[in-house]
Structure 1
Amino acid sequence: MTDCTATAHTRLEKDLLGTRPVPDSVYFGVHTLRAVENFDITATPISNYPDLIRALAQIKASAAQANHALGALDAVKKEAIVQACREIESGQHHDHFVVDVIQGGAGTSTNMNANEVIANRALEILGHERGQYAFLHPNEDVNLGQSTNDVYPTALKLAAYQGAARLLTALEYLQQAFESKAHAFKELLKMGRTQLQEAVPMTLGQEFAVYAGMIAKDRHCLTEAMQELCEINLGATAIGTGINTHPRYAKLVTRQLSSNTGISLRSAPNLILATQDCSAFVQLSSALKRIAVTLSKTCNDLRLLSSGPRAGIGEINLPPRQAGSSIMPGKVNPVIPEAVSQIAFEVFGNDVTVSFAAEAGQLQLNAFEPIIAHSLYKSLRHLQRGCMILADYCVEAITANPQRLADSVSQSIGLVTALNPLIGYAAATDIAKQAHETGKGVAELILEQGLLSANELAQALRPELLIAPRTVNEFEQTL
């Protein structure tokens, strides 16, 4: 972070509260300086979220272009502002965005940080010194036709959209990893389980296909949430009435921003509603929570299925990533699924924060969007990374234990359910009870009691009969 306390080589800047020296070395001004002093909270500056900084620059450039087209901003100022914004969009000057991500004022400090950095860089482009605002002003020129109350939520939506797009890509990558394993394991019969008890046979491929299928549904949910982010309130200014803007400004600046970002944005039909409503963020947070639930449930399963390796279920092997204990030699832990589950727990908490913050808005504005943004961006970033490490460091290298899988089927009492159509429910119940009491296998008991011949039993236990629907007649016809 830029040192805001330096006193050598300063310039004087004035605001509502008075005059303050600002270091000549920085692009930000007095409004940002006060915000840095007021909000020393997380040690996380807004520059930690580059998508947000780029979004602010794109909005300010679009506003300058729209204002120029409407005759409100001259060409010289417009070009200087746009050039400064393009530099920021390309990754320059981000270290001058220094206000804390958690701040009072409904994001005003973030908006002013952007206004001041852009204004001072534009002044340099025009051949002036930083702080010479008589030539180009942060509020009157860079913020022309705008308010924090339309700039900030629009920037949050643009940044969230970019983060969600990366998460979509990561989810697709993870889905493909599970699909690949589902194909590789499609012939491996195993016992399915309900309530951690043996149920009926299935294939390991079917089990992994479910993980891929859940992710596919989550991707659809996230895509829908992203569409809600595309409705913005830019041009609404203070409360949604559009005060101090040209009648055509809102539509024009939205079209310009769509062109500059490549995202199909649309102006909200009711700007007053859009200025106070945070439902798009709530919907996105809900989609992220759903993804987190899927990932954590999947990781729980992977840890159970690989448990042991000899005293647990042990049906699959997770790739060893590191030594697992400082005291138990040879122990290897499922560290990747454990890490991903912890990401999920964080997302659950972030969702609660977003819900409370969205609900807490009063009347025409929600003042708590900074914590909404901070929570969403952490969830987006961590879920995206979690998907990638789960795919690369775990799923792609999972192997099966075919003998363990086969033994679980042959020794399972649950196998009797699959034979119920042939021997009847009463006989099947007796066989299950005897198997449990004697420790003998279901197949062994059926043969001992002559309920089926060895050939009939072998045919009845063919994998294709055990893992898909069959009528009794179809079942008997295959024997």
Structure 2
Amino acid sequence: MRTEKDSLGTLRLPKAVYYGIHTQRAMDNFPITGEKCQPEMIRAFLEIKQAAAKVNAAAGDLDPKIAKTIVQVTEQLLTSPLDFSMWPLDPIQGGAGTSLNMNVNEVLANLANERLGGQLGKYQLVNPNDHVNLGQSTNDTYPSAGKLALLRLLAPLKQSLTTLIDAMGNQADQNVRVYKMGRTQLQDAVPMTLGNSFHAWLKPLLRDLARIEVSEQALHQLNLGGSAIGSGINVSYHYQTHIVPKLGEITGLELSQAHDLFDATQNLDGLVALSGSLKGLAVNLSKIANDLRLLSSGPRSGLNEINLPARQAGSSIMPGKVNPVIPEVVNQVAFEVLGNDATISAASEAGQLELNAFEPVIFYRLFASITHLTGAMNTFCEHAIVGITPNKDRLAKDIDLSASFATAMAKIIGYAPATKLAKQSLKTGQPLREIAADSGLFSAEDLQHVFAVEEIVINARTPEHGLVLRPLSETTTD
């Protein structure tokens, strides 16, 4: 064991650990979730410390030898597998993220001291606060690291969403002539195609992608150089003007510095907007999952219009039962994201004056929303959407027995007479086509058009997965 000292007193730590007393106090104080901090958050912090060391050395504020050593140990950590024995903190922590910032400062200081021949926990050569944290505050490093992490986590999410949209488009193409009954309030409406359904599902996903990309733009603007409350206290002008460009070089990301550092330190509206965009995506994914569970219900006593790929046995007691497990997991992730958005909104609103103390839970839930939605969309696409097949016989039978063609009749004979014929079909079970033919109200040409499903449902696709509605005169029937 070794002993370290801070303003609160002394504390015993394991002798060989690279973190220090501040990290140990946080471990004792915040045993909340049992999880560890998001690896991308730690990676972003290391990149910020590396950039700070380089800029402070160039400004003449940090000994070049110390700066070089800090850079070397950050490079060592960034190119090695993450060792969570160095990063033991819970993602939810009091202090607006100071614990994680100090965890990074202490690890880098101890690694640098060790490299220079010093002892762990002594900090005579490299100090966590005076050297590693020079020109910084948790209030500017923590939100900046969080934004960098979000940018990197959003990249695979957008790719997963794009792949899902493409899979929906492929299904729309394949089912462009597969006719089915449409429903409103879960009651028979008018005929449509299964392709129409996939069109309707992918359109809001395209809008979700656009909204996420708009929300993402705010993440590129950082408040580094703002220090404690955005005033830039204890920060050199050189640091303020060079830290963000240097970090951009290190990360390979397009970054800019906030024009108003006071505003950037206090406001988290960009994170709230991103959370709202993720919530919108979750709502749409859950709606699609609900529709698929309904359309695949059965296989004998449900709608049974489509087949979902069978992924696993569905019951421990009912042999042969197969459940829609993939849509179900998508629903559950969506429910979680809705809860995350409520947490993020509440935590953002609860910040007081010059700092929001609740950034840890905001980023924690944002990271969860993004990573879980990415996983949900991956399994949704691979294990559900691409393998959906229609039950064409069932779909054709439903259309043939449907009274929905009365809608097309109404234009010829009026709403009330068409209603009477539809009710007669529903009451007797006799197909509406036969009742219409026996009624004497329609010519042979009228009946041909009324019951021509392909004329009622006109579905042509554009490269953007849209619909082009053609006038009836442009269509032909056999």
Q: Shared fold (TM-score greater than 0.5)?
A: yes
What does residue 3 of structure 2 align with? 12
* Counterpart-to-counterpart distance in 2, 1:478 and 1:183: 21
What does residue 461 of structure 2 align with? none
Moved more, 306-315 or 438-447: 438-447
Deviation at 1:275, TM superposition (A): 0.6
Matched, 1:327 2:322: no
Contact 2:16/2:120, CA 8 A, preserved across alignment:
no
Moved more, 349-358 or 73-82: 73-82
Taking the TM superposition and a 5 Å limit, the aligned residue runs for 1:7-46 are: 10-46=1-37
Matched, 1:371 2:365: no
Matched, 1:79 2:42: no
Contact 1:53/1:89, CA 8 A, preserved across alignment:
no
What does residue 404 of structure 2 align with? 414
Contact 1:57/1:114, CA 8 A, preserved across alignment:
yes
Deviation at 1:430, TM superposition (A): 2.0
Query: Structure 1: where are the runs of 5+ without partners?
Result: 1-9
RMSD over aligned CA atoms reads 1.9
Taking the TM superposition and a 5 Å limit, the aligned residue runs for 1:181-192 are: 181-192=171-182
What does residue 446 of structure 1 align with? 436
TM-score w.r.t. the length of structure 1 is: 0.93
Deviations 1:409-461, CA, capped at 9 Å, x for gaps: 11112222133333433332222222222222221211111333556433443
Moved more, 154-163 or 433-442: 433-442
Deviation at 1:248, TM superposition (A): 3.2
Deviation at 1:466, TM superposition (A): 1.0
Matched, 1:461 2:451: yes
Matched, 1:63 2:52: yes
Contact 2:36/2:88, CA 8 A, preserved across alignment:
yes
* Counterpart-to-counterpart distance in 1, 2:444 and 2:320: 43
Contact 1:53/1:88, CA 8 A, preserved across alignment:
no
What does residue 263 of structure 1 align with? 253
Matched, 1:427 2:412: no
Match of 1:277, as an amino acid? N
Taking the TM superposition and a 5 Å limit, the aligned residue runs for 1:333-372 are: 333-372=323-362
Deviation at 1:349, TM superposition (A): 0.7
Matched, 1:162 2:152: yes
Contact 2:118/2:124, CA 8 A, preserved across alignment:
no
Identity of aligned residues (%): 47
Match of 2:361, as an amino acid? I
Taking the TM superposition and a 5 Å limit, the aligned residue runs for 1:250-329 are: 250-329=240-319
Contact 2:138/2:228, CA 8 A, preserved across alignment:
yes
Contact 1:50/1:94, CA 8 A, preserved across alignment:
no
What does residue 5 of structure 1 align with? none
* Counterpart-to-counterpart distance in 2, 1:69 and 1:450: 94
Query: Structure 2: where are the runs of 5+ without partners?
Result: 459-468
What does residue 395 of structure 2 align with? 405
The correspondence for 2:222, drawn from 218, 225, 232, is 232
* Counterpart-to-counterpart distance in 2, 1:416 and 1:65: 76
Taking the TM superposition and a 5 Å limit, the aligned residue runs for 1:125-164 are: 125-164=115-154
Classify the secondary structure of the residue corresponding to 2:181: strand
Contact 2:433/2:451, CA 8 A, preserved across alignment:
no
The correspondence for 1:384, drawn from 374, 377, 380, is 374
Classify the secondary structure of the residue corresponding to 1:96: coil
Deviation at 1:342, TM superposition (A): 0.6
TM-score w.r.t. the length of structure 2 is: 0.94
Contact 1:323/1:333, CA 8 A, preserved across alignment:
yes
